[in-house]
A and B are shown apart, each in its own frame.
Chain A
Amino acid sequence: MNIIKGFATTFKHLREESITLQYPEQVRPFQERFKGRHHLRRYDNGLEKCIGCSLCSAACPADAIWVEAAENNDEQRFSPGERYAKTYEINMLRCIFCGYCEDACPTQAIELGHEHQMSFTDRRDSIFTKEMLIDAVPEGGQPTPQKVEAGAFDRAIPDMPDPK
C-alpha cells in the first residue's frame, strides 16, 4: 500500500505549478534596499554631487574605490563644492556592495542601484570609470563643465536640500 501512497504524493506534486524563474527573460523584482551597481548622482541643474572628498574610498572595507580630486573654478565648474572628482573608479570585482560609501558620502552623491548583471571575461573590464557610473544630465540641466558667474558657489561643501 505504501507504494500507492508514494505515487499519490508524486502525482499530487505533478499538478502543481512550476516555481522556476525563467531568468534571462524574467527577473524577480528586487527589494527596495537591494544594493547593486553604484550611481553617481547629479543636481537638477546638471552639476555633479560628488565633491571629490574621498570619504567613500576611506570607508570602503575592500579598497575598491579610487578618487582623484581637482579644483573647480568658475570657468569650468563640475560640482558646487570647492573640488570635484577628476577620476572616479570602482573595481566591481573588489566591491562587496556593503553600502558604506553611500553612508559616508556627505553630499549623497553615490548611491547603490539595482543593476546586478556584472560578469566579465577580462578583469580589466571590471573597473567602472566615472563616465560609466555617472547619471545622464537631467531634463533642463546642462552638462559639466559649466561656466558660472563668479561668486555663485563659495562653499567647500555645498548646502544640502535635505541634510541627514
Chain B
Amino acid sequence: MGVTPKLGNMGVVTSTVEEAVNWARTGATWPLLFGLACCAIEYMSTQAGNYDLARFGMELNRASPRQADLMIVAGRVTRKMAPVVRQLYDQMADPKWVISMGDCASCGGVYNNYAIVQGVDEIIPVDVYVAGCPPRPEQLMHGILTLHEKIRGERISDWAS
C-alpha cells in the first residue's frame, strides 16, 4: 500500500533498493540488551567468543530501545513484566523484529500457571520462534538466520504500510 501506486513503473529500481536495504538490515540487526530468565545465559554465551554474534553484525547490544532493531525475548514473561516488555517494544524505532527465544517465551513452556504470559505473542508480534529449553547457542543462531531469511523477503510495499 501507500508507496507502490505513486512509484509507477519502476520495478527495477524498487527491487534493487529492496535488495540493498534488506542486505544492510541483515548485516546490522542490533539486539536490545535485556534478558528475562535462563535463556539469557545461553544468549550471553552466544555473544561470547565461542559463537561470536559479531559474525552477523550483532555484537552491539543496545541498552536503549531507541537504537535497537531486534528484541530477543529470552525467558519467561511474567504478567508483571508484560507491560514493561510491551513498553520496550513500543519504544523501539521501526524497522523492528522480535525473536521469541525458548519455550517459555513462545508458549509458556512448563509454566502453565497464572503468573506467566502464555506466549509473548499475546503482547507483541513475534517474527521467529526458537524451540529449546533453553535453546543452545546453535539453535539461537539458527533462529537469527531464519530471521535474516525473513528480512531478505521483505517488500518495499510492506515498509510503507
- Chain A residues packing against B (C-beta within 8 Å): 19-24, 27-28, 61-63, 91-98, 116-121, 123, 126
Contacting pair A97 B138 (CB below 8 A) = no
Query: Is B51 a contact of A20 with CB atoms below 8 Å?
Result: yes
Partner pick for B139 among A22, A93, A96, A117, CB 8 A cutoff:
A117
Q: Which of B50, B108, B112, B133 has the most CB of A within 10 A?
A: B133
A-B contact pairs, 16 of them (CB 8 A): A20-B50, A23-B137, A27-B138, A93-B107, A93-B129, A94-B103, A96-B110, A97-B133, A116-B132, A116-B138, A117-B138, A117-B142, A119-B128, A119-B139, A121-B128, A123-B129
| B121 touches which of A19, A92, A123 (Cβ 8 Å) | A123
Q: Do A28 and B138 have beta carbons less than 8 Å apart?
A: yes
Q: Which residues of A contact B51 (CB under 8 A)?
A: 20-21, 23
> Which DSSP category, helix, strand, loop or mixed, fits chain B's interface?
mixed
Q: Is B32 an interface residue (CB 8 A)?
A: no
Bound Cα distance A97, B51 (Å): 22
Rounded to whole Å, the gap between the CB of A101 and the closest CB of chain B is 14
B residues 97-122 near A (Cβ < 8 Å) are 103, 106-110, 112, 119, 121
Whether the pair B110, A116 counts as a contact (CB closer than 8 A) is no
Q: Are B131 and A93 in contact (CB under 8 A)?
A: yes
A contact face: mostly helix, strand, loop, or mixed: loop
- A119 / chain B contacts, CB cutoff of 8 Å: 128-131, 139, 142-143, 146
Instruction: Determine the distance from Cα of A22 to Cα of B56 in the docked complex, in whole angstroms.
Output: 11
Closest residue of chain A to B144 (Cβ to Cβ) is A119
Q: Which 5 A-B pairs have the closest CB atoms?
A: A96-B133, A119-B143, A118-B131, A93-B106, A92-B131
Chain A residues whose CB sits within 8 angstroms of the CB of B141 once the complex forms:
23-24
B3 at interface, CB cutoff 8 A? no
Q: A93 to chain B: which residues have CB within 8 Å?
A: 103, 106-107, 129, 131
Which residue on A lies nearest to B119, using beta carbons? A123
The minimal Cβ–Cβ distance linking A114 to chain B, given in whole angstroms, is 11
Q: Quick one: closest A residue to B121, CB to CB? A: A123
Task: Report yes or no: B146 in contact with A24, Cβ–Cβ below 8 A.
Answer: no
B62 — which chain A residues lie within 8 A by C-beta? none
| Interchain CA distance A23-B58 in the complex, whole Å | 14
